[in-house]
Amino acid sequence: MAPMLIPLLIWSVAISQIVSQPLILTDDPDRLSSPAPSPNVTEVVKSLLGAVTKEADMRSEAFKKLQNIVSNFEDEKREEQPDCEGPKVEGKSCNPRVPPPRYARATCSWMWTQQVSMGMYVCRPCRQCAPAEKRFPLMVFGHGDLSLPEFYTGYMKRLARYGFVVAGYRGCPLSIPLPWTQCQGGQRSFLEVLSVISFFQLNSGADVRRAPVDIEQPVTAVGHSTGARAVLMAAAVKDDPQYLQGTNIKVSPRERDAANKIAAVVGIFGDPMDNPTFNPDVRRWEEGAIDKTPAMFVTSTADFLVPKLASWNAFTAVKSPAKVFIDFRGTILWQGHLSPWLSKISARWSGTFARALGLDDQSALETVYGNGTRSFQKVIHFAKMGQRNTGEGKWGMVLCAPNGTEDWPVEAAAHFCAPRK
């Protein structure tokens, strides 16, 4: 109970800070800001926080209600605005955004299995939204330090609505970068990613009601913070057989087979991969351990919890032809390092990238690399020159396309996109 209580309390404190702060004002008219919750919502959240802290049980109704409020609040203002591609609504400005998810809703539940330590938290498109016999590709979700996948319910639901079964491992919740903490300070968290894939490989028909996985389709992986490190290390294991050789971390043939299923990865506010405290094989990483698997890196100008340029440095180390770097303009807390706990702001981009590069979805590829009104170029409020975490002090977004013909911007692509053979 005690190990679970710590992340639960941290999550509760973060929420209490968010819901009590006023609307964040900014001199930058393009910078994203979040609406302040109404007094009624604030009082409800405070009451639920008290109940959650007292009960210390993530299965409680208070915790579920709190998750629902938090996961839906951040997008509320933007979702009320009509899509610029849709009908005009008098008196309301439109809100350009990437194409919406394929499914209207998603549901989440726990799955318990000895093959994945502490079980999994799984989100899928709702059963009423898809044919009963429908199976979906697997997406593994990696959580950050001092947290569990349940804390990301809103984010995972949004990912699932893009047509995935999103399975988050529950192991390694206390994996702060100290060797005596769980999973060797997070250095072994990537094995949890592989254990989820392996479970579905060995149990393809397991619990199709909760997790209707089609394991024959490519697997994608999305992770936050330490979870980002985990999915990147899993991709490195796939691409480079020499990665982790000479370290005390061994990868079994079964785990390598699971890694080979990974088709694309997304790291959100990831740990610094060039630091041996986090990555036990920095040398191989910097030599280009990931040189085939498509990878996307997401950070923001409001991330002050990880070292500056951690995501940019990881992006430049990856030699895969297809890769994306996004440093979006964020307001403190809502859109900083903890934003995947509290909002779904980058889930649209992650889901679209996973469909584009993981499943070769042509419409999603056009969104990532095209220049239409719904494209990344036109929709994402990426950082301006000189803002925090921009690459080389000026690149807020870089898109490296699989074939190189749609790289953007051209000047950055010439330096940071890998040569195509």
Q: pLDDT tens across 348-383, in order?
A: 999 999 999 999 999 999 999 999 988 999 999 999
CB contact at 8 A, 74 and 157 = no
Hey, what CATH topology would domain 106-416 get?
Rossmann fold (3.40.50)
Whether pLDDT at 414 is above 70: yes
Predicted model pTM: 0.84
Percent of the chain with pLDDT over 70: 75
pLDDT digits (tens, 9 = 90+) for 168-216: 999 887 777 666 666 887 789 999 999 999 999 999 878 888 999 999 9
Could you tell me where the DSSP H helices lie in 21-107? 39-55, 61-73, 76-80
Quick one: pLDDT band at residue 37, thresholds 50, 70, 90? very low
Determine the Cα–Cα distance for residues 218 and 235; give it in Å rounded to an integer.
13
201: exposed, middle or buried (Cβ count in 10 Å: 0-12, 13-18, 19+): middle
DSSP code per residue over 317-343: H---SSEEEEEE---TTTTSTTHHHH-
pLDDT digits (tens, 9 = 90+) for 108-125: 999 988 888 888 999 999
Whether pLDDT at 35 is above 70: no
For residue 215 the two structure tokens come to: 């394991």
For residue 223 the two structure tokens come to: 């992770």
CB contact at 8 A, 19 and 36 = no
Higher pLDDT, 403 or 18: 403
Q: 27: how many CB neighbours lie within 10 A of its CB?
A: 5
CA dihedral 183, 311, 169, 121 (to 10 degrees): 150
Show contacts of 414-420: CB within 8 Å, 24+ apart: 416/315, 416/316, 416/325, 416/391, 417/321, 417/323, 418/291, 418/319, 418/320, 418/321, 418/323, 420/321
Q: 293: how many CB neighbours lie within 10 A of its CB?
A: 26
Instruction: Determine the pLDDT at residue 30.
Output: 37
Determine the Cα–Cα distance for residues 411 and 264; give it in Å rounded to an integer.
25
Percent of the chain with pLDDT over 90: 57
Helix (H) or strand (E) holding 11: helix 2-20
415: exposed, middle or buried (Cβ count in 10 Å: 0-12, 13-18, 19+): exposed
Whether pLDDT at 252 is above 90: yes
Quick one: pLDDT band at residue 75, thresholds 50, 70, 90? very low
Whether pLDDT at 13 is above 60: no
The amino acid sitting at 203 is: N
Instruction: Determine the pLDDT at residue 3.
Output: 46
Q: Give me the residue spans of the domains in the chain.
A: 2-30+35-73, 106-416
Instruction: Determine the pLDDT at residue 11.
Output: 53
CB contact at 8 A, 123 and 107 = yes
